[in-house]
């Protein structure tokens, strides 16, 4: 069992962590650490073209990644909660986060474990399902530890959502997932 403090230390040291979210167990890392993001891509055997979701506890945690202020009223119609918005990305954002898109996927969570994690870290973190690409999402901390040895796992409960969050484009209102 890992404490919140040890999870924050791991994030700041560029390590990959696991944590409960609204619907599935997530893997994450510091979105400002290119090596950590690259490690996560390799770890999951994930295509770098896909990009990642950023999850946070306050809208201002996303300002360095996307044009939050311009769309804030619309974003807040579904935030906080299990809803991911695709928002025009800032020019300096890593392509490892956006993948082949000019948008960044952002979710302002109300899940207690995520909120505590992002508040303690003082920023947004990468959020992707806890699984190897193409494999089922892992259901328990023990499964995560077995599949991803060495990953620190923040104990907690899932939020009750059946599966991952919806993803919606803020410009077109199109649902990409959901």
Q: Which domains are assigned to the chain? A: 4-177 (3.90.870.10)
In sequence order, the β-bridge partners of residue 106 are 54, 85
Average pLDDT of every residue of the chain: 95
Q: Tell me how far apart the alpha carbons of residues 94 and 37 are, in angstroms, rounded to a whole number.
A: 9
Q: Which helix (H) or strand (E) holds 107?
A: strand 103-108
* Mean pLDDT value of segment 70-97: 96
pLDDT digits (tens, 9 = 90+) for 9-48: 999 999 999 999 998 999 999 999 999 999 999 999 999 9
Indicate whether 69 pLDDT > 90.
Answer: yes
In whole angstroms, give the CA distance from residue 60 to residue 22: 21
Residues 117-150 have pLDDT tens digits of 999 999 999 999 999 999 999 999 999 999 999 8
**Residue for token pair 């892992």:** 138
Average pLDDT (82-93) is 96
pLDDT of residue 1: 57
Strand order in the sheet with 175-177: 152-153, 17-20, 25-28, 125-129, 53-56, 103-108, 83-88, 166-169, 175-177
CA separation for the pair 144, 161 (Å, rounded): 19
Share of the chain above pLDDT 90, in %: 92
């Amino acid at each position: 069992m890992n404490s919140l403090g040890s999870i924050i230390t791991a994030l700041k040291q560029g390590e990959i962590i696991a944590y409960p979210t609204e619907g599935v167990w997530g893997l994450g890392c510091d979105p400002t650490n290119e090596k950590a993001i690259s490690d996560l891509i390799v770890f999951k055997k994930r295509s770098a073209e896909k990009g990642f979701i950023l999850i946070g506890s306050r809208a201002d945690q996303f300002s360095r990644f996307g044009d939050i202020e311009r769309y804030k009223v619309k974003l807040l119609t579904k935030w906080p909660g299990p809803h991911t918005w695709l928002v025009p990305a800032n020019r300096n954002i890593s392509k490892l986060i956006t993948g082949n898109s000019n948008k960044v996927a952002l979710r302002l969570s109300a899940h207690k474990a995520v909120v505590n994690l992002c508040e303690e870290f003082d920023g947004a973190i990468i959020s992707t399902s806890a699984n190897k690409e193409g494999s089922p999402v892992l259901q328990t901390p023990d499964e995560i530890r077995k599949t991803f040895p060495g990953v620190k796992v923040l104990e907690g409960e899932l939020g009750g959502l059946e599966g991952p969050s919806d993803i919606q484009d803020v410009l077109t209102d199109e649902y990409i997932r959901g």
